A and B are shown apart, each in its own frame.
Chain A
């Protein structure tokens, strides 16, 4: 029995290195216990140096790219069983069926897809619902956001934010890690202090004005809104404070549109 402890989050690199070693020694999945320690360290895709010595006999296993992509997403999930699951799938792809991933109803594949999908959704919501607030830092515009992803989604979306806001200075803070961008370099910081995020922003009142006026009070569809934007996301979205009032007043507003129309 082999016990492997992953010490970082999400843990992709550690898992990759450990898995490679286990494969080289032909250790089957049922003989490995994967566990993760609580400690949190830097772990960015491809940014950490490899510390494990390369295994002696290098057997090259070619793993389809689509499988690796699934692993990348699935390994950003909170679920502690993700390491064991990914190794088991890796093992089965190599020794059992190289098209395993196509068997969408296989239990392991179902589970892998479920994890990957949850992370993708979580990461998408992060790119959608994160809100920057502006501060002046050393006399320059700096944008700060606090966001609480459900999984380790910051890692998934760093590319997106660096590309979209390349020439802006920004900091994204999550409960487990912050990313700071100064238009050229990315610096990561573990367990950041949420209090550096400002409480207000000079443009926010325009956004609130826009949000209240762009919706059509004659067509309330609260459940459609909630399924796309569940309440758990509301906390850090300033406009959501207006929703209850908007719904409460919608009837009166809609009726007014009609009675106004009847006056002529």
Chain B
């Protein structure tokens, strides 16, 4: 059966797949009230449920589509740029709303992640996107998750209105420096992107207060905050520059998340782009480093020793290898920050260790029972009945022990 909507969906989900920020973040709790007879959906408080996984290992949590892939801009890394010969399509407001609701009712998704190419003008585009979010919220009482990728250069009024309906807003910075933007996204301006982020940051903060002086709760405004994405490996920026940009975004713009997307070849690519994809391991190491910077108390200089991260070892292990003089660490005595620096101990394990320590001394047996990665931990720790043989920490062959680092150990902990 020939179905126009199927065709549009093919084109507009295909175009959205290059965006890495797929997960739905936390945005508090929400549900239809007792007397609400039409509303649908809920936010459970945690991160969104992964309703499926695709063969690339990614979680399917949201209906991630472009409203349209027509675009008047010419960003080289983007399949939708005006000079690309890709097939074009556009969803109507009604089609997008109905698709979202129909998917939601079947328990396929947590909500909608909508971005768009720029049609007509930034404002016209942004206005249609806001209409979709508004219709979901107001006409249909939709309580699920909405993430809008706001259009750079759209008016502050429209950005503000978007925040009333969306749980999260994002603007992609795309490249860590203006120099790279000039080359790869000539119409985009880092200053303008930052000032949009600033406006949103202030709005989000304004609406965060519990009650205004009049005693009324302010309306919700993008309770899930802002996020952004950088493309890795299309330009020549090194890891220190990239992570430096992230640190700034986290501290100054109060972003919730920076996503890294290893450049992957796109159909009909522009010739300024490299022909080869950036290695996925680089993207993975950047996520690990980002994590350590935000939650493990590491500084940028500690994490990136040279200009690039170590691709062979996860950044925490790499730090430990460079700083072996601080080891072994006594798991029964070390403070939390120090425990967090031990390769093989995740944040949750550290919590557990601290809890157990209040009642009893940790022994090697306890570590086995907690199913910790003992092989990895061995050279770095002491417990009541164990300390590492001196040769484990010494000698030039130290690194050889970690020749085949397991992937994903950081997030698995």
Tell me if chain B binds chain A: yes
Check A132 against B53 for contact (C-beta < 8 Å): no
Check B103 against A207 for contact (C-beta < 8 Å): yes
**Assembly CA distance A201 to B102 (angstroms):** 11
Contact of B275 among A103, A207, A243, A261 (CB under 8 A): A261
Contact mask for chain B residues 23-61; partner A; CB cutoff 8 A; 1 contact, 0 none: 000000001100011111110100001111111111110
Interface residues of A in 209-236 (CB under 8 A from B): 209-211, 213-225, 228-229
B369 to A: closest C-beta gap in Å: 4
Q: Is B218 an interface residue when CB atoms closer than 8 A count as contact?
A: no
Residues of A within 8 A of B366 (CB): 105
Q: Is B5 an interface residue when CB atoms closer than 8 A count as contact?
A: yes
Kindly name the residue among B6, B41, B55 whose own CB sees the greatest number of chain A CB atoms within 10 A.
Answer: B55
Q: Is A63 an interface residue when CB atoms closer than 8 A count as contact?
A: no
- Contact (A215, B107) CB under 8 Å given A102-B355, A262-B275: no
Check A167 against B32 for contact (C-beta < 8 Å): yes
Check A103 against B103 for contact (C-beta < 8 Å): no
**Assembly CA distance A83 to B360 (angstroms):** 28
- Contact (A215, B55) CB under 8 Å given A104-B370, A168-B40, A206-B6: yes
Interface residues of B in 260-310 (CB under 8 A from A): 264-271, 273, 275, 277, 280
Check B57 against A224 for contact (C-beta < 8 Å): yes
Q: Is A59 an interface residue when CB atoms closer than 8 A count as contact?
A: no
- Contact (A221, B55) CB under 8 Å given A213-B10, A261-B268, A261-B269: yes
Contact mask for chain B residues 49-82; partner A; CB cutoff 8 A; 1 contact, 0 none: 1111111111110011100000000000000000
- Contact (A163, B42) CB under 8 Å given A104-B355, A130-B107, A228-B53: yes
Check A206 against B56 for contact (C-beta < 8 Å): no
Q: Is A7 an interface residue when CB atoms closer than 8 A count as contact?
A: no
**Assembly CA distance A215 to B366 (angstroms):** 42
Q: Is A85 an interface residue when CB atoms closer than 8 A count as contact?
A: no
Check A167 against B56 for contact (C-beta < 8 Å): no
Binds B, one of A21-29, A41-49, A121-129, A185-193: A121-129
**Assembly CA distance A213 to B275 (angstroms):** 23
Residues of B within 8 A of A263 (CB): 268
Residues of B within 8 A of A132 (CB): 105-107
Residues of A within 8 A of B65 (CB): 210
B351 to A: closest C-beta gap in Å: 10
Contact mask for chain A residues 243-260; partner B; CB cutoff 8 A; 1 contact, 0 none: 100110010000011101
**Assembly CA distance A145 to B105 (angstroms):** 11
B42 to A: closest C-beta gap in Å: 4
Residues of A within 8 A of B277 (CB): 218
Residues of A within 8 A of B356 (CB): 102-105
**Assembly CA distance A218 to B14 (angstroms):** 13
Q: Is A61 an interface residue when CB atoms closer than 8 A count as contact?
A: no
Interface residues of A in 99-117 (CB under 8 A from B): 99, 102-105, 110
Residues of B within 8 A of A164 (CB): 31, 40-42
Residues of A within 8 A of B355 (CB): 102, 104
Interface residues on chain A, number (Cβ under 8 Å): 63
Q: Is B200 an interface residue when CB atoms closer than 8 A count as contact?
A: no
Q: Is A14 an interface residue when CB atoms closer than 8 A count as contact?
A: no
Check A250 against B59 for contact (C-beta < 8 Å): no
Check B18 against A207 for contact (C-beta < 8 Å): no
- Contact (A214, B54) CB under 8 Å given A105-B365, A105-B370, A145-B107: yes
Check A247 against B55 for contact (C-beta < 8 Å): yes
In the complex, the chain B residue whose C-beta lies closest to that of A161 is B107
Q: Is A143 an interface residue when CB atoms closer than 8 A count as contact?
A: yes
Known: A134-B105, A210-B103, A263-B268. 12 other contacts (CB 8 A): A102-B355, A131-B107, A131-B108, A143-B106, A167-B38, A207-B106, A210-B9, A213-B14, A214-B17, A215-B56, A218-B277, A222-B57
Residues on A lying within 8 angstroms of B by beta carbon are: 99, 102-105, 110, 124, 127-134, 143, 145, 160, 163-168, 183, 201, 203-207, 209-211, 213-225, 228-229, 237, 239, 243, 246-247, 250, 256-258, 260-264
Residues on B lying within 8 angstroms of A by beta carbon are: 3, 5-6, 9-10, 13-14, 16-18, 31-32, 36-42, 44, 49-60, 63-65, 99, 102-103, 105-108, 264-271, 273, 275, 277, 280, 352, 355-356, 358-360, 365-366, 369-370, 408
